[in-house]
Structure 1
Amino acid sequence: MPTARVSSAVMTHPVRRAQAEELCARLGLGGLALDPAPDDSPSALRTALVAWSRVAEGATHQLMIQDDVDAPADLLDLVAHCADRFPGEALAFYTNWHARNGAAARLAALAGAGWVRAVPEEFAPTLAITLPVAMAADFRRYALESGERHDDEVMAAFLRRDGRRSALLAVPTVTEHMGTSSINGHAAQGVRRAVCPAGAEDARPALYEGWVLEELDWLPYMRYGEGFVRLPGQDATPRARDHFGWREALPHTGLTEELIEDAMRAGRPGPAAREVGDLYGESFADEFWIHCLMLGRQAREAALRCAPPGADPAGTPAGERLRAAAVSTVGIAGLPPERRPDVGQAHTELLSAYAWTAIRCGESLPERDPADRR
């Protein structure tokens, strides 16, 4: 029985009240937080402030969950156990598959971690997030002074202020985003789903006992069909949100174009590359494979650097399923939004199999000299 006492609120708008009420009833959540000015310009922050104020008496933590999600029936119990483990942290239980934070969670899954520290320069994922009640009150005071309408941007700024750290992201994603509509103007991003979809049975061991990946070093991610790299310490620079193509970032990775070209010649399966190229373009087939090569390399580096001694990234059948789940989303997430609706099960399996050839090749690349890490 967890000692944390979690109260909760479903953030919603009157046009979605019915689905919010259904979610609230199904998960046993505390109640609705309705947009107090639904006819005004859209503002997620306006409604979030209501949700963060709905703290039940005696609660130690507040869970805010948005109305367009699916989640297991025992979500509150799972959140309470996680709050017991990390009582002073902001904990996010959903991460988009196409965000930098999604790339961080995917890399952590491949490395065998249960949690990963969010990149501080990106919006904080707030689809399902819990804060200690004192932090929730502090956030409300902070956010009341903001002119921003996106609560995830204000949350990120709040968490990184005064040297604070960013949120901890749950690597197995037990909450799932449903649909593509967006009251707050994000529909152009297309299909947005969880980076590492998992049932509660597989998620609990990772969330309750899995190690935490605190240090990301450089991070490969994809954006609209192209590969990029988040540089080490990029958040502390004037170019915190800039996108650096993987070629431009190579000096920070310990890799070279020659090494990547050799790996492609030796490890990339020609038939799969042609099939992916026919479907999504040769450029995507190249960029995607190189991205996954870098992903495999960095996941292995993260495990060597941060995992407990003797830890196996797969470890258990549940751990292997989490790795497979993270890779199942890497292809569709890397595509431009307009291409994602056309990706059926067969194409998902093709992209996953193709990704694994690159990831395994990346895992076998020569270990980086620690003196080269910068």
Structure 2
Amino acid sequence: MHASISAAVTAHPRRRPEAEALAASQPGLDFEVVEDPEPDGPRSALRTARLAWRTADPGCTHRLLVQDDMRLAPGFARLVRAAVAAQPDRILCLFTEWGSRTSPAVRLAALAGAGWVPLLDPYVPTTAVVLPTAVAHALAGFPAEPGEPDDVLLLRFAREHGMTPLVSSPNLAEHEQGDSLIGNDVLQGPRHAALFGGPPGDWARVLVPPVVPHLLLFDGVVVCQVPDGDGWRPVLADAFLAPSGLALPDLLERYAVAVGACDPTGRMRRVVADSLLLQLWLAAFCYGVAAYAVLGDVAVVDRALRTVRGAAALRTIAPGALRRFVPGHRLAGLPALVAPLLRHAISDGCVHAGQAGDQFWKEYLQ
């Protein structure tokens, strides 16, 4: 199949200069700028998205939409064409923010060399997305629920049509920091990419991990997401680990040993509260379990973590998970600060997984 792409930057009129600059940065894709048709109406990205969906060129196989506050990876046009050629019938998300439910799966794909993971979030990140043109045209007339945003509507459409959106590893778009039209910058903090740019994964390969750990953005606790029918079910991390012989007191003891070795002077705990540092450690421990499940060997996981992609993925774990709990001026230094603890936890989780076999998740997947 020969893929051809019509591309658009969606924008509010007040961001016209930014949108035009983004469009001009990709001459090989001939971006058009699609503006909100009712800029003085209630704030909503859906109006602009509908217009961009409706105006997709019927002579092209795919519609690429990028919002005006995104930055695109070097070689974006070449990469997105290769991605579309490898997955022509799928909804392709080129960005997921560093604290999303899908972000740990993107990091696991980076270790495994895969180009895609299934979407785990309750919305489709429409900040940078590629749709088959037929899907874009169908979305233009797809009825919305009252107050429904475009990203939730797109997921509902996908589910009704038996489609599972894919998220790229690495992400091909990065979210530039700025004022959100709907206030997400205040509610959620900075929303950078889970893994931006760098060597691409295998666009023909979709990694479906048997478990995806996630430190919940608003709750500050770790869950392990396990496949459940057509979706994913969250299981509290301590419950997920219990069949492997680790009860909560065992986890607390392991954390105490790790933090004593990695943070003897308390530098980490002066930035991250001990209770949250425990959860960050637990997320990394479960990430080690998941990495072993994907790669099957402790030494292979260790080597993968030391690659450019693996190291870059590791750097976004802490700021992505903790950006609502750590002062903004501390986020840039957070990855280096907690890196020893994360590496210790991942290694510990990986070794434990090798010893425990399949005793982690079999209870939940049978």
Matched position secondary structure for 2:88:
coil
**1:335–1:344: structure 2 CA closer, same or farther, 3 Å change rule?**
closer
Match of 2:287 among 274, 281, 295: 295
Deviation, 1:11, is 0.7
Aligned-residue offset at 1:256: 3.4
Q: TM-score, normalised by structure 1?
A: 0.84
Structure 1 counterpart of 2:150 = 151
The amino acid across from 1:343 in the alignment is R
Distance in 2 between the 1:250 and 1:217 partners? 11
Would you say 1:131 and 2:118 are equivalent positions? no
Unaligned ranges ≥5, structure 1? 306-310
- Going from structure 1 to structure 2, the CA distance change for 1:293 and 1:300 (only over 3 Å counts) comes to same
Which segment drifts farther, 122-131 or 179-188? Answer: 179-188
Match of 1:362 among 342, 349, 355: 349
Look up the match of 2:190: 191
User: For residues 250-300 of structure 1, what are the alpha-carbon distances to aligned partners after superposition, in whole Å with 9 as ceiling and x for unaligned?
Assistant: 457875335534543554453426221121111122111111001111122
Within 2, Cα distance between the matches of 1:254 and 1:231?
19
CA distance in 2, matches of 1:139, 1:212: 25
Q: Using the TM superposition, give the Cα deviation of residue 216 of structure 1 relative to its aligned residue in structure 2, in angstroms.
A: 4.0
Q: Write the distance in 2 (CA, Å) between the matches of 1:100 and 1:235.
A: 17
User: How far does residue 302 in structure 1 lie from its aligned partner after superposition?
Assistant: 2.7
Q: CA deviation at 1:362?
A: 1.1
Aligned in 2, Cα 1:220/1:344: closer, same or farther, shift over 3 Å? closer
Q: CA RMSD in A?
A: 3.0
User: Is 1:221 aligned to 2:227, yes or no?
Assistant: no
Aligned residues: 356
Question: Equivalent pairs: percent with the same residue?
Answer: 26
For residues 369 and 283 of structure 1, the distance between their equivalents in structure 2, rounded to whole angstroms, comes to 29
Corresponding letter in the other structure for 1:138: A
Question: Which of 254-263 and 359-368 deviates more?
Answer: 254-263
1:93, distance to aligned residue in structure 2 (A)? 0.6
Partner of 2:316: 329
Q: Which residue does 2:54 correspond to in 1?
A: 53
The 1:235/1:272 distance shift into structure 2, 3 A limit, reads farther
1: CA distance, partners of 2:255 / 2:304 = 30
Residues 44, 314 of structure 1: alpha-carbon distance in 2 compared, 3 angstrom cutoff:
farther
Distance 1:252 1:104 in 2: 23
Deviations 1:116-155 (A, max 9, x none): 1111x5111111100111121222222x444334111111
Which 10-residue stretch deviates more, 279-288 or 215-224?
A: 215-224
Instruction: Give the Cα–Cα distance (whole angstroms) in 2 for the partners of residues 141 and 251 of structure 1.
Output: 48
Residue number in structure 2 paired with 1:308: none
User: In the superposition, relative to structure 1, how do residues 252 and 177 fare at CA in structure 2: closer, same or farther (>3 Å)?
Assistant: farther
Say which of 278, 286, 289 aligns to 2:270.
278
Q: Which of 273-282 and 216-225 deviates more?
A: 216-225
Question: What's the CA shift string for 1:220-266, capped at 9, x where partnerless?
Answer: 334247232144346879xx89x764335545787533553454355
Shift of 1:46: 0.9
Deviation per residue, 1:198-234 (Å, 9 max, x gap): 23xx12xx1435x321244453334247232144346
Q: Which is worse superposed, 72-81 or 261-270?
A: 261-270
Q: Pick closer, same or farther for the CA change 1:349–1:231 going to 2, 3 Å.
A: closer
User: For 2:244 and 2:52, how far apart are their aligned partners in 1?
Assistant: 42
Out of 22-31 and 323-332, give the one that drifted further: 22-31
TM-score (ref. length: structure 2): 0.86
